[in-house]
């Protein structure tokens, strides 16, 4: 084989250096392989448009790249150890099939250029996928909120019994929180939706390339005009996405923690079919919330990803540096982990079972102290005086709760505003 490294000068690289600098990049590159092909097709067409390639060469390259794309789609494409990365493997395959036409695909671009545009395309698609999976979970949470809106649930502050809540409030709270997370996802998508192709090694090219053509061909919303700014987007676009991932992860982690607490026999608020729980090797009575514990753990890891990427790039000046190769090994697994967490949260929550008799336990009577106090205020008693009277009744054990509560303001347990929450979400799609 030859041309295994795009920068090869004919001098053998020390094997240890090769192993250290390549690392696990080949495996990660399989993820972006199809996007490198897409960008290469657009680049070949552009080279034809400006007269650097003949129409015949363009067609040969497009056909050859389409064949590689088919291999990628069918799982037949591999990057052997002889190749440094996906870009060198694709160029090798084109050259093997097409000869000199294959060698021309690298005209007017750099490997940095290829990684940049492939990552932008990859992140754009993954952001759209995450957005769709988040909406699927959102829809389920609103459905559960509507289904269980009349089932009361203890609300807690400081992990102390506080005020009445409901399953309607609980489920829809997490649904609306996901909207905030999607604002970050939309912002990351806007950052990714800028075409960096044509920046070459970060300083442009002396070829009269048509960057507007590739922007339209690759369906980017706009162009990253300044070539240095385009190169500086490497690491930055991944970090932008990481903040979106971390925001969703924070919501999922909190939800998972609630579920773990509520499944405990001490709470007994929710349960799941046995097939969605796991047992113990020695305790036959156990039904463990392993799925939600792992969602919690994975999502807590994900919340560290923005900081990881920040620390990798915090002291880098403008221009390309090999450090930037390492961002892939952080962001790619993070994307896969979040998608799995979203999928598993939806899979389990669709079968959640709620306890409809929670508040029959007298230990929850104090939940109604505020509503009972407010009734005295409505009848004309000053709030501070009513508060002191209620506190005295509780201390003396004479408190009689008023359980026929009526919360009517927007966003309360008697007025969930589910359709308003749904409308808010639809505005960002």
304-337 pLDDT, tens digit per residue, is: 999 999 999 999 999 888 889 899 999 999 999 9
122 neighbors 36 (Cβ within 8 angstroms):
no
Nearest to 167 by CA among 418, 426, 423: 418
What domains can you pick out in the chain, each with its CATH number? 15-107 (1.10.275.10), 123-195+226-359 (1.20.200.10), 361-422 (no CATH)
SS3 content of the chain, % helix, strand, coil (to 5): 65, 5, 30
Residues 174-184 have pLDDT tens digits of 999 999 999 99
The predicted pLDDT at position 286 comes to 63
Q: Catalytic site residues? A: 158, 280
Contacting residues for 9 by C-beta, under 8 A, at least 6 apart = none
310 neighbors 239 (Cβ within 8 angstroms):
yes
The predicted pLDDT at position 254 comes to 98
The predicted pLDDT at position 44 comes to 97
The predicted pLDDT at position 137 comes to 98
Contacting residues for 251 by C-beta, under 8 A, at least 6 apart = 174, 177, 178, 180, 181
User: Cα(261)–Cα(1) distance, rounded to whole angstroms?
Assistant: 59
Classify 318 in phi/psi space as left (phi over 0), alpha (psi -120 to 50) or beta: beta
Low-confidence ranges of the chain (pLDDT < 50): 1-3, 7, 11
User: Cα(312)–Cα(309) distance, rounded to whole angstroms?
Assistant: 5
CB crowding 379-399: b at 16 or more within 10 Å, else e: eeeeeeebbeebeeeeeeeeb
Nearest to 65 by CA among 85, 100, 35, 107: 35
Helices and strands per DSSP (H, E), number in the chain:
16, 6
User: Cα(106)–Cα(180) distance, rounded to whole angstroms?
Assistant: 42
The predicted pLDDT at position 332 comes to 95
Supply the Cα-derived Rg of the chain in whole angstroms: 29
**Cα distances (angstroms) measured from residue 119 to each of 208, 328, 358:** 24, 9, 50
Beta strands 222-223 and 194-195, pairing class = parallel
The predicted pLDDT at position 9 comes to 52
User: Cα(270)–Cα(6) distance, rounded to whole angstroms?
Assistant: 57
**Residue 163 burial by Cβ neighbours in a 10 Å radius (0-12, 13-18, 19+):** middle
Q: DSSP letter at 13?
A: P
User: Cα(369)–Cα(162) distance, rounded to whole angstroms?
Assistant: 9
At residue 302, φ and ψ (nearest 5 deg) are: -65, -30
């Amino acid at each position: 084989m030859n041309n295994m490294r795009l920068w090869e000068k004919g001098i053998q690289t020390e094997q240890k250096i090769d192993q250290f600098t390549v690392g696990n990049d080949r495996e990660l590159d399989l993820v972006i392989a199809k996007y490198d092909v897409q960008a290469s097709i657009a680049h070949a067409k552009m080279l034809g448009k400006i007269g650097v390639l003949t129409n015949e060469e363009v067609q040969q390259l497009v056909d050859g790249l389409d064949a590689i794309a088919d291999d990628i789609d069918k799982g037949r494409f591999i990057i052997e150890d002889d190749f440094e990365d996906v870009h060198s493997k694709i160029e090798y395959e084109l050259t093997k099939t097409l000869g000199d036409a294959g060698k021309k695909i690298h005209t007017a671009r750099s490997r940095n250029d290829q990684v940049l545009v492939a990552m932008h395309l990859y992140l754009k698609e993954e952001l759209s996928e995450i957005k769709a999976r988040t909406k699927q979970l959102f829809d389920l949470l609103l459905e559960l909120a509507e289904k269980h809106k009349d089932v009361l649930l203890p609300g807690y502050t400081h992990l102390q019994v506080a005020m009445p809540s409901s399953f309607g409030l609980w489920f829809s709270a997490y649904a609306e929180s996901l909207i905030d997370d999607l604002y970050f996802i939309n912002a990351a998508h806007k950052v990714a939706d800028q075409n960096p192709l044509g920046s070459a090694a970060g300083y442009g090219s002396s070829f009269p390339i048509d960057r507007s053509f590739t922007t339209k061909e690759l369906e980017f919303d706009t162009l990253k005009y300044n070539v240095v700014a385009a190169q500086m987007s490497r690491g930055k676009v991944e970090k932008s996405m990481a903040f979106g991932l971390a925001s969703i992860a924070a919501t999922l982690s909190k939800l998972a923690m609630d579920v773990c607490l509520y499944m405990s026999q001490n709470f007994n608020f929710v349960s799941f079919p046995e097939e969605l729980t796991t047992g113990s090797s020695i305790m036959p009575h156990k039904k463990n919330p392993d799925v939600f514990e792992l969602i919690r753990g994975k999502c807590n890891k994900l919340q560290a990803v923005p900081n990881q990427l920040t620390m990798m790039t915090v002291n880098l000046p403008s221009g390309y540096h090999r450090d930037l190769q390492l961002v892939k090994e952080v962001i790619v697994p993070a994307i896969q982990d979040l998608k799995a967490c979203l999928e598993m949260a939806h899979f389990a929550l669709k079968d959640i079972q709620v306890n409809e008799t929670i508040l029959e336990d007298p230990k929850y009577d104090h939940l109604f102290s505020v509503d009972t106090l407010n009734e005295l205020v409505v009848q004309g008693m000053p709030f501070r005086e009513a508060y002191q009277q209620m506190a005295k009744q509780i201390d003396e054990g004479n408190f009689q709760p008023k359980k026929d509560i009526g919360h009517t303001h927007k966003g309360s347990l008697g007025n969930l505003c589910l359709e308003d929450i749904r409308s808010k979400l639809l505005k960002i799609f």
